[in-house]
Structure 1
Amino acid sequence: MKNKSLKVITSWLLVSVISFAAQAAEEVRLKHAHFTPYFENGFDSAELEGAVEVKNIGPNKQVWLHYQTASGEWLDHPAFYVGASHSGYENFAFRLPLEGSVAATQFAIKYQVNGQTYWDNNQQQNYQFNDYQQTNLAHQAVALDDAYRASSLITLTARARSQSSEDKVTMIYSDNNFQTSYRKELSLSHIVADEHGLSGVWSGQQYIEYYRHISFYLEYSDGQTSHVDNYYGKNYRLFDTGEQLGRGPLLQRYPQVYFRGGPTSWNSIPMTLIDDYTWSIVVYFDGTTDYKFDVYDDWSRNFGDNNNDGIADLNGANLTVNSAGSTRITFNSLSGAYQATLLH
């Protein structure tokens, strides 16, 4: 893995931190998490993904995945805001690629707001995954694992509770903002242990013309009740070939960052993750032109710069390029640092 200088290092072991930090059941809870070890790489890499629900008790908040590395060091990795939950709560999500010995992984959730720190540490036991126990779906019945688009072929995997022989997981997708929709049932790949029972790993492929922009969500049914993972009201999307959700070696704060500006008539263009937390795109500017960074392609979380200090601000003023030509735009979503470099 590349640059690690941006990760926030925690100097105490978790047990010593939690001894004086606030314990929280109402303030923060893990909704789901799943662990994907990659056996084809000698079981030396993995992903840890999940979602967190926090009580909205202050406007300035931070949510962290607090995890232990193979060397025993405890680190913090940022979870990112996704959207509102039920009344008075908000959803955050995280995805962490891991390297080294990942046969045993443990973590907790840290929520900082109003000068206070709250923990969900699984009742002081930490959450622990290994090559056998790989899921925790206590508060969410189905969750996307990975999705990838290669031209006209979409491949995805999902996790869902294993309740009965009637279990089904379905991808529901649309190319017109769900004015019409289509259904693709996924196949059960294998069963893994869940802290609360068993979970199924589901997978499937669907051919969809490469030029069609696809949005989708997942539906799980056990024959009696149905549950959905619609990315907390935003739906998942795979617009361009090569786009992927999950699985990759670089650290991310957000699953995708989009460029918007004058050169694209303010339409969104996905940027490329080139290093830990760092996104890049080359754009041709024909003169003085404004632009911004957009996380969800709906302006709900966008970045500009209010004081022109090179550090992006949430909902900040438009950024500006003052020279014509092909320009490389980079944006570090953890530090907020951005740069525009004229190439020719």
Structure 2
Amino acid sequence: MKNFLLILAFLTGLFSTSMAWADAEVNLVSAMSRVYSYRGLGGQEARFVIKVDNLAPNKTVNLYYQAHDGQWRDLLANYLGVAGDGREVWQASMTLCTVVDSWRCDEITATDLNFAVRVEANDQIFWDNNQQQNFHLGMNDGYMLAPNYQVLINDKGEIRCDTQMDRCDLSGGRILLQNLAPLKTVTLVYSLDDWQTTAQVSAEFIDTTGSHPLSRFTNPGVQGGELWRFSILGLPANADDLKYFVKYDFGGPVAVDNNYAQNYRLGIPDFPAVYLRGTHNDWNVESGYQSMQKFTNYAGDSYWQNTIEFSGHSPSERFKFDIDPVDNPWLWNYGDSDNDGRNWQGIAEPDGGDIKILGGPGYYRVSFYDDSHAYQVEKLSFGPFPAARTLVFIQAENPDDEPTFLRGGIDWGYSQTVRGVDCGASEAAKWDCAIPMRHRLGRDDPARSNDWYLDWHGAEDQQGEVIGSPMIWTTNDADFGKTIIDDGYGYTPLNLWGDNYWLLDAEVYCNGVAVVDELGQHWFELKSYNGDGLGWEGDIQQANTPYVSNNHFAQCGKTNVFKRNQNGALIYQLYP
């Protein structure tokens, strides 16, 4: 579901006069708001960084903002980590609508933002509301940085390694600074040997004038926040840690952000990729499904994570980590010979034994830390998820290589009449007509890894600038030169028909949402959607469906083949 929570606050005034107005326990660090628009799509994105004292293990950190209708609402912040001064860093984010779209929102909610931040702990409430003035940020103002900061690492970046080339690259680093002078230099100073030697690279200003309309923002910001980027290419793959700080020279005293003398750190990954192989998938690596996704936590540690389902059919469910299963299966693998199946954490060693899981059927999250080789298994559910691998192909020839997206779920009218569930009752209720799923391909792409539902509404939180569930262009031409496994598009033996068949390959969780017919088959509706002006696929009339609809119907656990704007459907067993 959505990562942010909006709670309507019905209060007679903004704050009670008995509350503190600018408490030291909480303060705003930075904020950003931008408006994006492209080919009929539009929205407002806003993000806020907040620092709080560690007042208690259980606390709530909120952004309190005035919505477009004048009402004040709460936006729940998420914990990121601990800064060098020992204070906690939290972040809140939201997306508001600038275009009326009946499938996404029925009114324009974008607005200039008046806001404050607060923390609740130990039955006390602490505020930072800009000395009773509240903070103000125009909807397209770009970045602002709190006045007590001159320069700040805004994003530490991500390190990716190519072990064959024996090199690593840091990319995606961002620096936020106050625009204090027209001429300035921003330098990243770094070390790979704990400051015995140092090197440095220059950061560069991000000129957004020529960027894509969906990623554009005002830079420098109207309130003086200015965003720069940095990268470091050609780092040695055998180094342990990268440590760095930033210097900002604007003609006055040089400003430094060294994380309160602790410096910033990023661990250099040991592995280019990690795969899970075990009894849950017959020890195979099929279609890249068991590849683990790489993350970097706030402390700078690289780790790999994925979720797997154990059916409990095996007397001893077990798995191992395999580094290069495609070209060198089991050549570099990690297990734990000391694990008896009851202790779901440990240190994985090269060529170690199978990691056993004696927890019964269910859905498990597996984490594997790159530097320490520590692993952890967490059970997420008791009982197996009723997931079924489902393929959806839609033949569509798009102009200018525009992508195809999929939207779907259950018809709202059918849901209310037959299921007794009104999916239009509220913002949260609309997800009751969405189909939970997980992409099997391209899980390193946030557009897929953060796509939790086949729904009628477009992008989900942190999914990026997409307009639905992204599909993959495929062909049946084995000589095409690109494949969906290696290149993210191209040839796949699953395509039996020709070019321009767009594919969704997903684990679909149908029980409880999908429509069940008299034969026990699970059905759901879908339509293709394009952002190139084509928009929604036209209405169709598919035969032999559970009820009458203008959409395609697909079956869970099967291969489903359609053509855009055509009534026909080919549905057959996934493994004939």
TM (norm. structure 2) is 0.40
Q: Which has the larger radius of gyration?
A: 2
1: CA distance, partners of 2:194 / 2:361: 35
In the alignment, is residue 175 of structure 1 matched against residue 192 of structure 2? yes
- Rounded to whole Å, the distance in 2 between the matches of 1:85 and 1:14 is 37
Q: Is the 8 A contact 1:155 1:204 kept in 2?
A: yes
Q: In the alignment, which residue of structure 2 is the partner of 1:271?
A: 305
Are 1:173 and 1:183, in contact at CA under 8 Å, matched by a contact in 2?
yes
Structure 1 counterpart of 2:145: 136
Q: Is the 8 A contact 2:23 2:127 kept in 1?
A: no
Q: Which residue of 1 aligns with 2:60?
A: 62
- Equivalent position SS for 2:13: helix
- Residue 118 of structure 1 is aligned with which of 126, 130, 155? 126
Opposite residue 83 of structure 1, the aligned amino acid is V
Residues in 2 aligned to 1:268 and 1:148: alpha-carbon distance in whole angstroms = 9
Equivalent residue letter for 1:217? F
What's the offset of the Cα at 1:339? Answer: 1.7
More strand by share: 1
Taking a change above 3 Å as real, the CA distance of residues 21 and 12 of structure 1, as seen in their structure-2 partners, is: farther
- Matched with 2:319 is 284
C-alpha displacement of 1:64: 2.5
Q: CA offset at residue 22 of structure 1?
A: 1.2
Counterparts in 2 of 1:82 and 1:256: CA distance versus 1, 3 Å = closer
CA gap 1:167/1:37 in 2 versus in 1, 3 angstroms: same
Higher relative contact order (CA 8 A, sep 6+): 1
1:209 deviates by: 4.0
Aligned ranges 1:1-344 → 2 under 5 Å: 3-4=1-2, 7-13=4-10, 16=13, 18-19=15-16, 22-37=19-34, 39=36, 44-54=43-53, 60-68=58-66, 74-80=73-79, 82-83=81-82, 90-101=87-98, 102=110, 104-130=112-138, 131-132=140-141, 134-146=143-155, 147-149=157-159, 152=169, 154-165=171-182, 167-189=184-206, 190-194=219-223, 198-209=224-235, 211=237, 214-223=242-251, 224-230=253-259, 233=262, 235-237=264-266, 239=268, 256=297, 269-271=303-305, 280=307, 284=319, 287-288=340-341, 290-291=343-344, 321-322=357-358, 328-329=364-365, 338-339=379-380
Instruction: Note the C-alpha offset of 1:165.
Output: 4.5
Is this contact kept in 2: 1:256–1:271, CA < 8 A?
no
Matched positions, count: 277
Task: Using the TM superposition, give the Cα deviation of residue 202 of structure 1 relative to its aligned residue in structure 2, in angstroms.
Answer: 1.4
Q: 1:326 to 1:119 in 2, by over 3 A?
A: closer
Question: 2: distance between equivalents of 1:209 and 1:182?
Answer: 11
SS at match of 2:133: coil
TM-score by length of 1: 0.62
From the superposition, tell whether residues 325 and 9 of structure 1 become closer, same or farther in structure 2 (CA, over 3 Å). closer
Percent identity of the aligned residues?
15
Gaps of 5+ in 1: 243-253, 259-266, 273-279, 294-319, 332-336
**C-alpha contact (below 8 Å) 2:204/2:229 kept by paired residues:** yes
